Structure 1
Amino acid sequence: MKHRSARGVYAAWVLLGCLVCTPAALGSTGQTGPDHGARRALLVGIDRYQPDDVSAKSQPEAGTSRRKWKDLRGAVNDVRALREVLIHRFGFRPDDVVVLENQAATRQAILTAFQRHLIAPARSGDHSLFYYAGHGSRIRNSRSTELDGKDETIVPADANTADGERKVVDIRDKEWDRLFTQVLDRGAWLTALFDSCHSGSISRGAVPVSAATRFLDEDERDVASLLEPDVPAHPPGQEPERREGALIISASQEDQQAKETVQVAETARQWHGAFSLALMQSLNELPAQASADRLFDRVTARLAAEGHLQDPVLAGPASRRHAPLLGDPAGHLDARMRVNLVQAYAADDVELQGGAAVGLTRDTELVSASAARKAQEVRLRITDVRGLIRSRAKVVNGNWRELKAGDEFEVVRRGMPPVSTLPVWIGPAVTDVRGALALARDLAAQAPGRGVTLVDDPTAATASHVLSWNGEQWLLWSQADRPVLLGTAPRAADILSRLGTASRAAGLFLNVPPTKEVARQFDGRRLGPLGATVAAKPDESVYALTGRVIDSHIEYAWVLARASGPDKPGRVFPLPERTSWSQWSEPDSSRGRSCEAGGLPDCLGRLGKLYYWLTVGGASGEERFPYRLAFSRQSDRTVVDRGELVEGLYRMVLRADPGHIELAQKAWGLQPRYVYVFVIDREGRCTQLFPNAASREYEHLLPSRDDLKRSPEALAEIPLGESGVVTIQPPYGVDTYLVITSAHAIPYLAELVESGPVMTDGRPLRGEQDWSIDRMFLRSTPARPPGT
């Protein structure tokens, strides 16, 4: 298998899920100086697309597109959260961050604001940042030279209207190309981030969820008849992504959907773009000086760990991939993080403007940053994180009555990462088991004559329709926004008649609900020790208990709730799309059995452990240890750090960019750390690879004290000792490699990671305040015969 060539970047650079970044020096105060220019941001988020006038949906004005308008729920939340990250994490001045939301984000308003705020004042050394969250789409262009004859677009808020003789159309890739070029031509650097997609591919998982896709129906009009011909923005070969300093990250591949997801932060529940949420979480997990490719891998890993089948796309010269995303290679970016006080209501009730978006967690401590208060420091401790931009705290030192709105507080101690517990959906139980079996039997008998394919495994084939039970009646889900209500005892013939004719190649999956006996195995009391928790809604789950009928008996499995259809060959994805099917025959029939033998609780326990180690965040310390794991093949010294490991012998090594090593040496001093490497397969089986029984004492303390005297170039690759050799052999598949580093040796770590289902309180490294965790996903494959 070849890992994604150039990460799947398209010939036309603007799939409009991109990120172009700069190595320009960025100060934490937002001040302009000789080493760092001004920084300005324009953030656009659109949730509302449906016309206010209902009649406009069916009778659009002349010149408007006849699309089916769909609202979103997380785009505005994304914009507000990113604003907090830019101001409090990266030091943008609030006045330099312009926001356009919903109806304010018209086509003309976006273009005008971009020109006035990001182009006109831009000078050499400045940084212009543009962010868009909303629908992406396409529009027909008879003048286009692209094979599909279409332009990729983003959809402004007024695309559903007409303004007199002026016909409103989307903002196309060619227009963005021109705008971005103008910024770069002025000597400024540009960050352009779009969380949208241009794929409307059909998907229907086993569990219907209400997560929206950031794609709107294509505009069927011909843009050639609506706008003047495009004037080339630059000579051939000078596209923005080809110019030095450019980095492009797309939210998803061309044939994938960019999805919205629910983020649950303690007492808050908010919708966000899956990509934007992963980006903001990753920005807070890594030091500000982390390279863009390291950040990209972290974002990709988090999306995969949460079960999202969308792969971001990265392209750009090596110099940019190895440079910090919004930081300065020279280390000018202040790593301190500050937030403002909203209101102090009491000593134990202080509201802060900052939450999960800037990495605040329970038990994080902050002190007053105002010089006037240094004599009598006020210290706060976070007690509740209420979403991405709000949190509550209590005063642990000082007088709360002296606090005023707007007071600035600086983080001085990070709290422990939040508990990482696998959310699962267990639907309402069915009492009439015989009725469900009879319905399945009738559907199987009548479906072939209606041209309908019955899907018996939603992870092996895509189902266009799903039949499910909501506790009161059966529902028929399709690509429509709402399901068809079928009542408590629908007839198979009536269900099939709603699926259309054979020419439509309909696929139907009957999701058999759990019986009361099966559901009883997974109440809250029993889920805790398995590292899982019951999700409040299907949207919040990663796995769902799914049933099917095979040969007149019911089988159950845990199925990835956000997946749809078969996995792509060669795709590196750490979560199994489903566990083994377990036949149910009597109460507690699967308890005590292994997952391979159909034990549903054991399967869930393995998933819980895998999810935990895929999502738990480290405490701190990564800025002083810039290394990442790689594998050097013994036969030819080829180094592998992504994609696949072909059968054979490999030596594990730590690798880092010499520039990042030099930065750590100058800023903080390169810190030797204890290094632990584990591998977890997709079934949750875990093995410690390093250190092992053959390791010498302190062999895993790296770099060694003697190595610290060497040059950054000599320290760029460090072998993991004589015992750091592994053999890739059957069984093959996707494995997750965990690299845990700590300033202090961690006793019993092997027992903790390799043990069975997770079940402690979710804080395995309690008391350790200087540790980090990194992950990489690699697919092991058999050696290819010579000549192939």
Structure 2
Amino acid sequence: MRMKLKNYFLFFCLFTICHISYSSGKKALLIGIDHYYDSEKERYAEWQDLDGAVNDATVMYNLLKSKYGFSTKDMTLLVSPKSTTKKSIVKAFNQLIKSASKGDQVCIYYAGHGAQIKNSKFYELDKKHEAIVPSDVLRTNNFLLDVEINELLNRLLDKEAELTVIFDNCFSGSGTRGAIDLNSLQSRYVPISDIDIDQTYKKQKSAAERGALVVSAAQDYQLAKEYKDNRGQSHGVFTYALMKAMQMSSVNESAEDIFKRVNSIILYNAVPRQDPVIEGQEERMKQPLFGGVADPSIGVQVGIVDAENKYKITLDGGSAVGIVPGTQLTHVKKEVVVEVTALFGVNGCYGKVIQGDKALEEGDLVKVTKWAPYNKNRLKVYFGEMGISDIEINALKELERLLADKGVLEYAPYEENVGFIIKKEDDKWKGFYSPSESISFGHSIPSFEKLEKVISKLETPNNKIFIEVPPSTAVYQELNGSLSGQPKIQAVKAEEKFDYCLIGRFNDKNELEYSWVRFGAQKEEKHNPLPSYTDWVAPHRTFTLSNYAERLGELKGWLTMEVPPNNANFPFKFALKKHSTGALVKNGALVEGEEYGLALYKDNNLYDSWNMEDRYLYIFLLTSDGSMKLLFPATNSSVENNTEQIMKDPSGDYKDEILIGYPDLLSVSPPFTTDNILMLSTVTAITETSIFNQDGVRERGSGDLSLNELIDEEEERSSKQSNWFLERHTFFGTNTQ
């Protein structure tokens, strides 16, 4: 089945880091608003002045200047009430746009109040605009809406600037180092309950759709907070954590790794109800915060959350990235090694220091330097015992040429017309008419003359011969090295049961290439969710074969992982909603030509016993070509995906059913295969949502979608209730109702 994803951006997000091209000049616009005109008047008591926004903008200004090479003549700092009215902010934007050139690194930073404003005619699901609050809003009632900001961002992108936009206002925020007094936290949020813009806006192409990286200090419905540090200075919680992460990191460190630092600092301080968000294309997240090319980062890095006890280090990473007990992680500069002792939740772990004397601290990044392999869910692969020589390779090449000239050579073992397969087993060459009927050719490759007798016995339609070419010595050695110790892959011997076998061939151009072929692919199960085979790969691209094996391991992990019981009675479930009839399809056939949207519905039997603990939802697609794609939330984000936000109606009651995004998001067309859609629900937000995306292992026409793995070994909670659950839904295409 080819499942097509319509090119919709499900949820517009305002706060953006964007990348277009290699940079030259550096420009910045920084805005901090503490004082709002007329806020001291009694009728505006809910509009509190802030204490830390000006501090934050000033700190970021100095950090850009001192560490990142921005010049004061190319930076504008707006912090006075007069310079932060809506008119003044828009004017500064326009001046920046006018001065920007192709390749410029442009940074825009905002700290101040934020708001959500109702618009019953708005195209977004929640019918609300995100907005920043200018200093004169109480006099003019004019907010700077997300659609207005997005237009300004797109004008900068039209100039082909590398644009970084960071907003630390409401619906953005994070935590900091040193114990934060949670009682002193102040929200950068202004409640707006009696305004309905009631205006239609044409849907824009967002900056994120143009290759943006999106960073927000909090989920869209959360409050970004500020607090006083141990010196009595006020800061936004997110900005303070970001500032610390930027100070700790290289200017070339990737945005992805800086975000890991920020998130681990926030987790350390346990700031309530504030989860920072990063979204965007994987390529951009691997570049530096302000664009360009990042230092290469080999392997997996995770952040330290708590390092006060060297025998119980808390890390912000776990089974989601392949970490299990026994995995070792190293802080290279400090020469400290941490060994994982236990996992908790879906993406956290504990460890202990086993080497090194220097102290770790929250925000440090440690790199996986030794994997501890998974047990039962690993993908089992077989790729021979030791490889064959170049002499044997050349002999097989000549034999295949002769069979091709004869018209009896087949180029794939899974084709139905294959009646005889030649392969090497136990150091001997054998020929198989079927698994139970074979002949032996001894230790030598069979001659063409011997095979002529076989050819004479083959009858149409099974009259073709396939030769399984074992890996060369070089290919075998490279695979043996790259796959050894992988957390999701286990190399096995021929007599053991395996999922995939490495098979070589000479193609119709008589060129050697290899593919992973699934066991039993000749007898294709009608609805097997794993790919029958991968693309064929030339020997000099063995690294691609390793990568394909890792992707297949990800798929198997999702499809076979053990899921804890839903003893929390989480009541919201996933289905596809047929656009033409509104019917919910929970599994099974999807009809060619029909269109489907993503839907959530409430199971009332579970709802009555639910512990009322809301969860974040992640819906993703696993396709039969081996690819995975996050469908919700959109654009690799964690925005607007909590049940408290998306399932509640205005009165606070939970809805029985909702449609997520567009009703015609998915459609079905031939070839009809089997795809899986999974929904992960978790109490803890997964900030690194790139783990839900992966390229496929073979060409599949125009169908392309993706995901990753979370094998759980979570620590028991005192409540005895699991804090996550995974639903699996299998769908296949058909051309009949």
TM-score calculated relative to the size of structure 1: 0.38
Q: Which has the larger radius of gyration?
A: 2
TM-score (norm 2): 0.40
Larger relative contact order (CA 8 Å, sep ≥ 6) = 2
